[in-house]
Amino acid sequence: MHAAIITAYDAPPAYGEHPEPVADGENEMVVDVLAAGLHHLTRAKANGTHYTATGAFPLVPGVDGVVRDPQGRLRYAILDDTAFGTFAERTVIDVRRSVLLPEDADPVRVAAAMNPGMSSWVALRRRVSFSEGQRVLILGATGSAGRMAIQIAKRFGASQVIAVGRDATRLKTLRDLGADQTVTFDDVAVAADVDVVLDFVWGAPAADAMLSLLKARADRGAPLNWIQIGSIAGATAPIPSAALRAARLQIVGSGIGSVSPSDFITEFPELAAAVTDGTLDVQARPVALADIARAWDEKTGERLVFVP
Ligand SMILES: NC(=O)c1ccc[n+]([C@@H]2O[C@H](COP(=O)([O-])OP(=O)(O)OC[C@H]3O[C@@H](n4cnc5c(N)ncnc54)[C@H](OP(=O)(O)O)[C@@H]3O)[C@@H](O)[C@H]2O)c1
């Protein structure tokens, strides 16, 4: 069968022949892959920067995808840490890490949306006690995860969603998704009185934004839940200790590990339904898996989805 194959961390995957996968665990099954998204996690595992990287090659990338099971049913599945991913005609899934999808689900939309969508979905559902009427600020709102976070925060009943980004033109388009206010990082203090921050950037931009927000809050005793989700602007952030003393700030992370696999899986069906029924807007672009070497480093605002 064909697959995308990585033989060195500093080279893009090559499309080529690969031995068939074999299911050997009690809950495992070999499935046909229909669509698999190129997420940041996919890249990190493929280029050796993720902490699970073992240095063992060859490696087939791909952390999740929409598949057809041996009974002909459509499923969305996430894989455990494995050298045999979803960027292949067939792969092995653990059925316990998958959910059935309706037959009319669009595999490309679902494969594009589940990883970025799940990031804010579980953060608000599983990492804080979010309640209707709270105000949410999103750092890094112009990306795939940020765009979905706007829609998900609104769906969960946020009274106000403030989208923060660095590109004023892209920011303006976010009002169509439900953002009540759009501001650049420089002006973040105008939106200081929020209850929850969904932070996809971390690094210096997040630290600067945090200080600006805290200084400008009308009531520094009002709780502010800062949920650290992504680190696109830096793995570390220079946060002064005073930030944690001088305001009622609580910083928590959200991702695989701080949210258990079973909690993620419990949330899958509702998110998949919102993606499938078109409630959530998704920017996805299908690409033939055979074109992976060309598309791998493409810079695009859309989520690339490989179709074997
Ligand atoms: N923990 C989880 O469960 C989870 C799940 C999914 C994703 N994530 C993480 O969330 C982050 C965003 O993912 P994504 O899928 O939305 O990525 P994406 O579609 O590539 O979007 C990246 C976003 O980050 C912004 N950005 C990039 N570099 C920046 C910088 N130096 N300063 C400020 N903003 C910057 C981009 O702004 P422009 O529009 O201006 O380029 C864009 O808004 C990634 O780190 C990803 O790994 C975490």
pLDDT in tens, 246-269: 999 999 999 989 999 999 999 999
Angle of the 144-155 helix axis to the 107-122 helix axis, nearest 10: 70
% of the chain with per-residue pLDDT over 90: 93
Q: Where do the domains of the chain lie?
A: 2-100+278-307, 116-253
145 Cβ closer than 6 Å to some ligand 1 atom? yes
232 Cβ closer than 6 Å to some ligand 1 atom? yes
Q: Quick one: pLDDT at residue 300?
A: 87
164 Cβ closer than 6 Å to some ligand 1 atom? no
Q: Quick one: pLDDT at residue 164?
A: 98
pLDDT at 81 over 90: no
Q: Quick one: pLDDT at residue 301?
A: 86
Q: Quick one: pLDDT at residue 12?
A: 93
Residue 56 C-beta-side C-alpha neighbours within 13 Å: 7
Query: At residue 188, what is the residue type?
Result: V
Q: In whole angstroms, give the CA distance from residue 149 to residue 114.
A: 12
pLDDT in tens, 91-110: 999 999 999 999 999 999 99
Q: Is-above-0.85 flag for pTM? A: yes
pLDDT at 26 over 90: yes
**How many angstroms separate the alpha carbon of residue 254 from the centre of ligand 1?**
14
Q: Quick one: pLDDT at residue 212?
A: 97
Confidence of residue 54 (pLDDT cuts 50, 70, 90): confident
**How many angstroms separate the alpha carbon of residue 28 from the centre of ligand 1?**
32
Query: At residue 220, what is the residue type?
Result: R
Residue nearest atom 31 of ligand 1, based on CA coordinates: 233
pLDDT at 217 over 90: yes
- Of ligand 1's listed atoms, the one at least distance from the Cα of 44 is 47
- DSSP-based three-state secondary structure for 231: coil
165 Cβ closer than 6 Å to some ligand 1 atom? yes
When pLDDT is averaged across residues 106-127 and rounded to a whole number, the result is 98
Q: Quick one: pLDDT at residue 241?
A: 95
pLDDT at 55 over 90: no
Confidence of residue 194 (pLDDT cuts 50, 70, 90): very high
pLDDT in tens, 231-247: 999 999 999 999 999 99
DSSP state of 264: H
Q: In whole angstroms, give the CA distance from residue 205 to residue 166.
A: 10
Arch. (CATH architecture) of 116-253: 3-Layer(aba) Sandwich (3.40)
When pLDDT is averaged across residues 81-88 and rounded to a whole number, the result is 93
Q: In whole angstroms, give the CA distance from residue 207 to residue 212.
A: 9
**How many angstroms separate the alpha carbon of residue 3 from the centre of ligand 1?**
27
- What is the average pLDDT score of the chain? 96
When pLDDT is averaged across residues 147-171 and rounded to a whole number, the result is 97
Contacts of 272 (CB under 8 A, 6+ apart): 76, 99, 101, 105, 110, 114
pLDDT in tens, 135-149: 999 999 999 999 999
Q: What are the φ and ψ backbone dihedral angles of 138, each rounded to 5 degrees?
A: -115, 120
| 79 Cα distance to chain centroid | 15
- Of ligand 1's listed atoms, the one at least distance from the Cα of 167 is 40
Q: Quick one: pLDDT at residue 299?
A: 86
In order, the DSSP letters of 275-288 are HHTT-S---EEEEE
Residue recorded with tokens 């033989």: 7
pLDDT at 203 over 90: yes
CATH topology of domain 2-100+278-307: Quinone Oxidoreductase; Chain A, domain 1 (3.90.180)
182 Cβ closer than 6 Å to some ligand 1 atom? no
Confidence of residue 68 (pLDDT cuts 50, 70, 90): very high
State in Å, rounded, how far the first CA of the chain is from the last one.
10
